[in-house]
Structure 1
Amino acid sequence: DAPDRVFAAVGDDAYERLVAFWERELDEAGAGDADVLHLNHLTPINEAAVRAFPNVPAVGHLHGTELLMLRAIDDGAPAEWAHADAWAERMRSWARRCRRLLVLSPDAVDRVPALLGVEPERVVWAPNGFEPGSFDRRPLTGRERIALWRRWLVEDPRGWDESGEPGSVSYSEEDLAAFADGPVLLYVGRFTEVKRIPLMIRAHARNRERSGRRVPLVLLGGFPGEWEGEHPLRTVRESGAPDVFLAGWRGHEDLPDGLNAADVLVLASVHEQFG
């Protein structure tokens, strides 16, 4: 599972160390001279800002992770989340102290006030942006397409197994035959439970069984060593899903090439916080 501990399992002593760390970091960054602090997520940095710089206003930026955790706590936290109630109260308190809360979707605008106990007028929709020049359509076909997947899967593999070591999953020249004809399916993202990657892999295996057609599914992403629930490679092994490729974590600058070397972007999640 993901090596980072969920906040709801972190006790008071560790929490205080995190707050003290962020107080030092904020001080070194000159937070005391800022007109406003833009704080991403609801984390101990919020508490550090309140304690060290109580007169500097803050704007919170919610990306979804904290909302999922709070909803899980409200629904009944797992037993290992021994400090869930304390963290839920802290996060709601930090949200109430922010002058504004930026969220990623109109849906979040509707849900956040009740979940965090804040006034609706303080919740502002601020959708994610992107770089149109970088992410314009420049489809790779034929030899160019095969060359990219050869480079990412065979020559410079970064896929990883349960060891978390980039390159521990690689492929052969023969495996590239799956890319010779037909569409390429591409998933981009982390290996978190909300993404429902095992479901995606099993659905792909079922489609292959029914159609008999080779259609590669490339999983681009998954930060090395970080996954929740069942590791995608285990799902591939247990389901016998053919032509599923773990391409590993690539830089943001590589993403346009991956998108342009695929035909269909696939996503199995139903609780994305961006909409």
Structure 2
Amino acid sequence: MGGLYGDGIIGYKGAFSREWVQDLGEDIEELFQDALKRPGGAVGRGPKRYYVEIHPEKIRGFVDLVTHPWVVAVCTAVLGPHYKIVEIGFDVPGPGAQDQPWHRDFPAPEDTLVGRRLNSLAFNLTTVDVFEDMGPFEIAPGTQWDTPEGFEHDMFPPKSLYPRYLERAQRKMPKMGDISARSALTIHRGTANLSQKSRPVLVLGVDAPGADNSERHDLQFSRAYYEALPDEVKQHLTCRVVEELEPIVQAHSIEGLMMGEA
């Protein structure tokens, strides 16, 4: 609670084994290549940078992830016992990805601006060891509470505020097996990837009751997979159960990220 209400981000090192993450990375690479071939399968988040929302059953370890004691403890403490998983996908900043503009992932809700309450979290899990030249994630701690005065689309602050973010900025360079939780309202950006390596990262979105982020996503399970899930997982899902999985057309497009930072 202190970390997320303070800096807006916390992490847990070595939550998963490197072998577990290697399997995840293989699954993500296969899903990424498939998404690139389908119209609407991947959405741009800037030059050489993509986001893909996925079907949870297409990755090994989904149940391991959402039942991990740290993930459950963080969700319960910050969002309450009736939290809901609303999104799973991944970001891929490839070689040549540019600095993103500083931003939030969506406009701050009244619960946060007026009620001073965080009602959603984003968990991130890298599939590779991250180094300085690979375009690490950069975040400005404490900015989840900033009022969006002058923000374009209530998400993109004016460049006059950039010095404040640069003064606070922390670059995150996690290793395989590490996991973080953050408020997606904390001002952040992906930095330029100067390496020849991609930096895939899994994203898990979780809401408190009353948050509406599920409207931006299409979490789906086949009936057979859903019925085999533990009850402790089912009770925390906002999803569609279908006879056959349907292709996901990416809906959470962030228009202001389509161009790199000048």
Quick check: which one's strand share is greater? 2
Quick check: which one's helix share is greater? 1
> 1 or 2 for the larger relative contact order (CA 8 Å, sep ≥6)?
2
Q: For the superposition of Structure 1 and Structure 2, which TM-score range results when normalised by the shorter chain?
A: under 0.3
TM-score (norm: length of structure 1): 0.26
